[in-house]
Amino acid sequence: MNKGQKLILSAVLIVLLFVNLPFVSACAKPVPQVAVHEYIIPTYADVTGPYSELQPIISPSKTLVFDWWNENVGKKLGVKLVSKTYDNRYDTAESASIHARAVVNDKPIAILTEGAPGVLPIIMKVEEQKIVVIHGSPGSGFFNVTEGFVFCPLRDWATLATGSFEWFCEDYWKKPQKPRVVLTIFEGVAGKDIATPILMWEKTYPKAEYAFNGEVQWHPANPVDLSGLVRKIVEEGKPDLISFAGTAVGSAAFYSAMQELGYLHKVPILNPPNVSLTALSEMLGADKLEGDFEYNGINYSPGTEAEKIFMNNINKYRPGTPWGGIGSQFSFQVYLLTRAVERAVANVGSDNLTGQALYDVLNKGEFKADELYGLTGDIKFNPQDRLAGIRTVYVYQMKDGKPQMVGQHALSDVTLSLKKW
Amino acid sequence: MLPSGTFPERYEQDKAVIRTRLQWGLFIGFLVFLFLLPVFTSDATLGILAIMGVFMVAVLGLQILVGYCGQMNLGQSAFMGVGGLMGCLAAMRFNLPVEAALIIGGLAGSVYGLIFAIPAIRVKGYYLALTTLAAQLIFNFVFTRLPKEFFLGTYGGFPVSSPRLLIGIQLTSPASMYYLILVVVVIAVFVATNITRSKLGRAFMAIRDNDVAAQVMGVNIVFYKFLAFSICAFFAGVAGVLWGYTMRYVGVEQFTLIHSVFMLGMLIVGGLGSILGAILGTVFLRTLQEIINTVGPSLAMAIPQLGAGIIFALMNFLVGVIIILFLIFEPRGLSHRWRIFQRFYRLWPFPY
């Protein structure tokens, strides 16, 4: 065989190899037992905005659940949920813009949102587009559209906060005099939406005393220094408990002022779920938070099925990510979605999943605690009240550097933001 | 510079914006293209163009005040907010058509803008910027404290239903919203262009170049400054109503200082003192933002190890670098670059 013949033969062999490669690889692959249908689930998240520091905890916590479910449940059902994150920078204009794009490009059956700006511009649109939205944090009064497509399983801020106040007054303090509570909330529409029903609730709840005649102490959403406010609320208010509701930046400024003025660990602070003890201990160090509290709609105590799945898989995504208030909230958002998908598949099949099919199972649906991987108690959605969902608020306290559940309290069936006072 | 062979013989011809048949043909062709766009493009693109159009109307107003009259304004977003909230509120409460909402929104923005024209009589430059900053703060302060009955039962904002035209047609699809915004943008460009070519525009420019000299020449600077603010805020108010209808929700927290700064950025990138600059700047910055929105999620899916946070931060950083480079190499904005291109085209093949 001369040099030219060798060259031709090698060329023919290479061509044959390429031609046969797809066939060979197809033969080598195991034949899937069920055809898998992919559905893209967009998340509108604040990746580079004011809540960006929470994203390193939220993002792996969610991706992990998607991957775990696809591998363990989705495969059998013939469904693969593909998570796609969009950065809305906590801005409604960006959310509107990415929504226009996501609806066409991803053809989503459901959207996951992580903050109010992600929801506001799409509340009315998703109803027409038949796309279910599951909101990951507690909602606000303006999310509530009767028979709407936006679901807030973690209820609203006011209902959760007052539930935790009731626990403090009825189960935690055993002293004869009424405990004094100071409420400080960030300025803005959302802050007002939280504060007003709480103040109305205070008037009807006689088991506590309220400093400043039941007035809210407002603080800026992104403060630099809160020492003036802290001095006022501690020295004039003489509180047994300070309930601080604000952004991550606000919490950092608040704790800094408490430390500088020497009040830290002298008056307990009740933190909101959006800036949980877990996230705060990442930001400020756990020692600063020792003895402080958090209220949350999620049970993130060790030993739940969700916690086990998280612990077994998190190292594949971001080793060292803590399991706690923030990660569990947004894991729960995905778990709830997957449960709805499972029910919808049973109704319409894996190839016919639509937003309407998901809506139908969520709209009047009841989800039992054992279905929700131990993260919450029973959930019951109400078509007339989109802020209906969980029935229990959990209270955590930082002990020995870790948040530990110290109590739970049944929530009112009536959503406070919507109650006709 | 006029195209070769163009010799105006009448004053009307001399003043015309569009002078040759070719220019008319291109202009009409461009309008037809814009009106036919929904036929061959997706709803996603229409949604993006709609938001671009809303910003364009607000930036055109800002161009009249900042670019032509030389008055600094950091409160455009607040003017937009007042217009949007009041216009949409009137439409929802009294079931008004979109045309009425646009006028009410424009007037509400205009009235609010007039309040902040008062300091402009005495102060200018950085000091005026600070007083217009107050427009933003007062807007947030007042509107978050209004009772919820004022906002149809919720605090500081409310859902907005799809717009209805005076003739009864309900605009529900992305294409119909695009047409509504396109019509408003065309009218806004027409009005803004003619303002700048009129006595009004020349008075604005005289104030911008030297307000003392303008006054000496008989320009009533108090009146014209008031007028510039009210025109600017009218445009912003109209944009606010369009925003409400586009988002289908309008609320106080949607109109932040960062949006005012972003709109000023659009002006600077596009070129101060040019209507075309306002359009090009808006298109340029919104397009960059859309590139992030498109490429970012896909990159985050393709390289999950890197993390969405790093990818999106890098993308934003890249946009920042592009804007900085742009301002270094073309500080007079995109409109200037366009004029250079026009001159080059008309003189070609001669170098000068």
The two counts, helices (H) then strands (E), for chain B are 14, 2
The full 3-state SS of A361-384, as one line of letters, equals HHHCCEECHHHCCCCCCCEECECC
Helix (H, G, I), strand (E, B) or coil at A300: coil
Q: A346: helix, coil or strand? A: helix
- pLDDT score of B351: 65
CA gap A299, A396 in Å, rounded: 9
Test A188 with B157 for CB contact under 8 angstroms.
Answer: no
pLDDT at A24: 41
Min Cα distance A235 → chain B (Å) is 27
Distance of alpha carbon B156 from the chain centroid: 24
Percent residues over pLDDT 70 in chain B: 99
What is the mean pLDDT of the segment spanning A74-89?
A: 92
Tokens 């409400």 belong to which residue?
B244
Reported as a pLDDT band with limits 50, 70 and 90, residue A19 is very low
Can you tell me the mean pLDDT for A65-93?
A: 92
CA A30 to chain centre: 38
Whether B252 and A188 lie within 8 Å, measured CB to CB:
yes
Range with the lowest mean pLDDT among A251-255, B203-207, B338-342?
B338-342
Q: What is the mean pLDDT of chain B?
A: 89
CB contact at 8 A, B58 and B84 = no
Question: What gap in Å lies between CA A88 and CA A60, rounded to an integer?
Answer: 18
Span B185-197, mean pLDDT? 95
Mean pLDDT computed over A376-404: 91
pLDDT at B6: 75
Distance CA B271, CA B261 (A): 15
- When pLDDT is averaged across residues A252-258 and rounded to a whole number, the result is 92
More confident residue, A284 or B351: A284
| pLDDT tens, residue by residue, A106-127 | 999 999 999 888 888 888 889 8
- Model confidence at A181, pLDDT cuts 50, 70, 90, reads confident
Is A22's pLDDT higher than 50? no
Q: Which of A223-227, A309-313, A394-398, B25-29 has the lowest mean pLDDT?
A: A223-227
Residue B47 to residue A98, Cβ atoms within 8 A: no
How far away is chain B from the Cα of A143, in angstroms, using its nearest Cα? 9
- What is the b/e burial string over B159-186, where b = at least 16 CB atoms within 10 angstroms of the residue's CB? bbebbbeeeeeebeebbbbbbbbbebbe
* Distance between CA atoms of residues B144 and A187, nearest Å: 8
Other beta carbons within 10 angstroms of residue A207's beta carbon come to 12
Q: Which residues pair with A407 in a beta bridge?
A: A395
Q: Which of A48, A100, A123 sits opposite B159 (nearest CB)?
A: A123
In chain B, whose CA is at the least distance from the CA of A101?
A: B44
**pLDDT for residue B128:** 87
pLDDT, position A25: 42
What's the CA gap between B237 and B101, in Å, rounded?
Answer: 10
Which of A260, A276, A282 is CA-nearest to residue A394? A276
Span of A303-307, B160-164, B207-211, B313-317 with lowest mean pLDDT: B313-317
Mutate to test the interface with B, among A101, A126, A196 (most CBs of B within 10 A): A101
Q: Shortest Cα distance from B254 to chain A (angstroms)?
A: 6
Residue B69 in tokens: 């009259």
Contact (CB, 8 A) for A416 and A162: yes
Which of B43, B254, B300 has its CB closest to that of A85? B300
**Predicted local distance difference test score (pLDDT) of residue A77:** 93
Structure tokens at A282: 């990442």
What tokens does A151 get?
Answer: 């679901």
Q: What is the structure's pLDDT at B304?
A: 72
Q: How far apart are CA B228 and CA B70, in angstroms?
A: 10
Instruction: Map tokens 């649906």 to a residue.
Output: A365
Check B252 against A92: CB less than 8 A apart.
no
Q: Which pTM does this prediction carry?
A: 0.80
Distance, in angstroms, between A61 CA and closest chain B CA? 12
Domains of chain B: 45-153+170-347 (1.10.3470)
pLDDT category of residue A420 using cuts at 50, 70 and 90 = low
Q: Residues B160, B244: contact at Cβ < 8 Å?
A: yes
Token pair for B304: 């999950």
- Check CB contact under 8 Å for A120 and B247: yes
Quickly count helices (H) and strands (E) in chain A: 14, 15
CA distance A137 to A247: 13
pLDDT at B352: 59
Question: What pLDDT does residue A26 have?
Answer: 42
**Do residues B163 and B180 make contact, with C-beta atoms less than 8 angstroms apart?**
yes
Task: Select from A41, A57, A62, A87 the residue whose CB has the most chain B CBs within 10 Å, as the one to mutate to test that interface.
Answer: A87
Q: Comparing A251 with A179, which gets the higher pLDDT?
A: A251
- Which residue from B155, B172, B304 is facing A193, i.e. has the nearest CB? B155
Question: In this structure, how many other beta carbons lie within 10 angstroms of the beta carbon of residue A261?
Answer: 14
Residue of A nearest to B42 (CA): A104
Site from B151, B155, B255, B319 to mutate, A interface, most A CB atoms within 10 angstroms: B155
With beta carbons less than 8 A apart as the criterion, state whether B257 and B263 touch.
no
User: What is the percentage of chain A residues whose pLDDT exceeds 90?
Assistant: 44
Distance from CA of A319 to the nearest CA of B (A): 12
Q: pLDDT tens for residues B37-68?
A: 999 888 888 988 999 999 999 999 999 999 99
Residue A13 scores a pLDDT above 70: no
| Locus of tokens 């404290």 | B145
Q: What is the pLDDT of residue B216?
A: 93
How distant is the Cα of A4 from the closest Cα of chain B, in angstroms? Answer: 44
Residue A28: the pLDDT is 45
Tokens of A121: 């511009």
Top residue of A97, A185, A198, A215 to mutate, by most chain B CBs within 10 Å, is A97
Give the per-residue pLDDT at A130: 94
* ipTM value: 0.71
Non-local (6+) Cβ contacts of A47 within 8 A are: A55, A59, A85, A87, A89, B308, B309, B312, B313
Nearest to A47 among B251, B258, B312 (CB): B312
- Sheet containing A110-113: which strands, arranged edge to edge? A79-87, A37-45, A110-113, A132-135, A150-151
What per-residue confidence (pLDDT) applies to A23?
A: 40
A128 to chain B: nearest residue by CA?
Answer: B172
Q: Which residue from B252, B258, B259 is facing A189, i.e. has the nearest CB?
A: B252
What pLDDT was estimated at residue B192?
Answer: 96
Measured distance CA(B149)–CA(B309) in Å, rounded: 40
Is B161 in Cβ contact with A120 (below 8 Å)?
no
Chain A residues close to B296, C-beta within 8 Å: 86-87
pLDDT at residue A11 in the model:
54
Inter-chain touch B296–A187, beta carbons under 8 Å: no
Give the tens place of pLDDT for each residue, B130-168: 888 899 889 988 887 787 778 777 777 888 888 999 998
For B162-231, give the secondary structure using H, E and C.
Answer: CCECCCCCECCCHHHHHHHHHHHHHHHHHHHHHHHHCHHHHHHHHHHHCHHHHHHCCCCHHHHHHHHHHH
- How far apart are alpha carbons B124 and B221 in whole angstroms? 13
Cβ atoms of residues B236 and B79 within 8 Å: yes
Chain A residues with CB under 8 Å of B50 CB are 100
Q: Which residues of B touch A84 (CB under 8 A)?
A: 297, 300-301
Structure tokens at B169: 């047609």
Other beta carbons within 10 Å of A348? 16
* DSSP codes of every residue in A115-172: SHHHHGGGHHHHHHHT-EEEESS-B-GGG--TT-SEE-TT-BHHHHHHHHHHHIIIII
Check: CB of residue A289 under 8 Å from CB of residue A280. Answer: yes
Using pLDDT thresholds of 50, 70 and 90, give the confidence band for residue A34.
Answer: low
Each residue's pLDDT tens digit, A123-165: 888 988 999 999 998 988 777 888 889 999 999 988 999 999 8
Cβ atoms B299, B311 nearer than 8 A? yes
What is the SS3 assignment for B71?
Answer: coil
- Residue length, chain B? 352
User: Nearest 5°: phi and psi at A184?
Assistant: -125, 130
Q: Which residue has better confidence, B212 or B19? A: B212
Count how many pairs of residues, chain A against chain B, have C-beta atoms within 8 Å.
137
**Within 13 Å and on the Cβ side, how many CA atoms surround B134?**
13
> What percentage of chain B reaches a pLDDT higher than 90?
49
For range B266-275, the mean pLDDT? 91
Nearest chain A residue to B144, by CA: A189
Mutant choice from B261, B312, B316 vs A, greatest count of A C-beta within 10 A? B312
**Closest to A59 (Cβ–Cβ): which among B50, B251, B308?**
B308
With bands split at pLDDT 50, 70 and 90, how would you rate the model's confidence at A8?
A: low
Cβ neighbours of residue A82 under 8 Å, at least 6 residues apart?
A38, A39, A40, A41, A66, B301
Answer whether residue A31 shows pLDDT above 50. Answer: no
State how far the Cα of A170 lies from the Cα of B282, in Å rounded to an integer: 57
Distance from CA of B341 to the nearest CA of A (A): 32
The per-residue pLDDT for range B277-325, each reduced to its tens digit, is 999 999 998 898 888 888 888 888 787 777 777 888 887 788 788 888 8
pLDDT of residue A29: 46
At A40 the three-state DSSP class reads strand
List of E strands, A227-292: 241-245, 269-271
Residue type, A334: V
Say how far residue A8 (Cα) sits from the centre of its chain.
Answer: 63
**Is the pLDDT at A3 greater than 70, yes or no?**
no
Across chain A, what does the average pLDDT equal? Answer: 85
Question: Max CA-CA distance within chain B?
Answer: 68
Query: Burial level of A232, CB count in 10 A (0-12/13-18/19+)?
Result: middle
For residues A375 and A227, what is the distance between their CA atoms, to the nearest angstrom? 37
B145 contact residues in A (CB cutoff 8 A): 192
Query: Could you tell me which residues are beta bridge partners of residue A408?
Result: A394
Residue B246: list chain A partners with CB under 8 A. Answer: 96
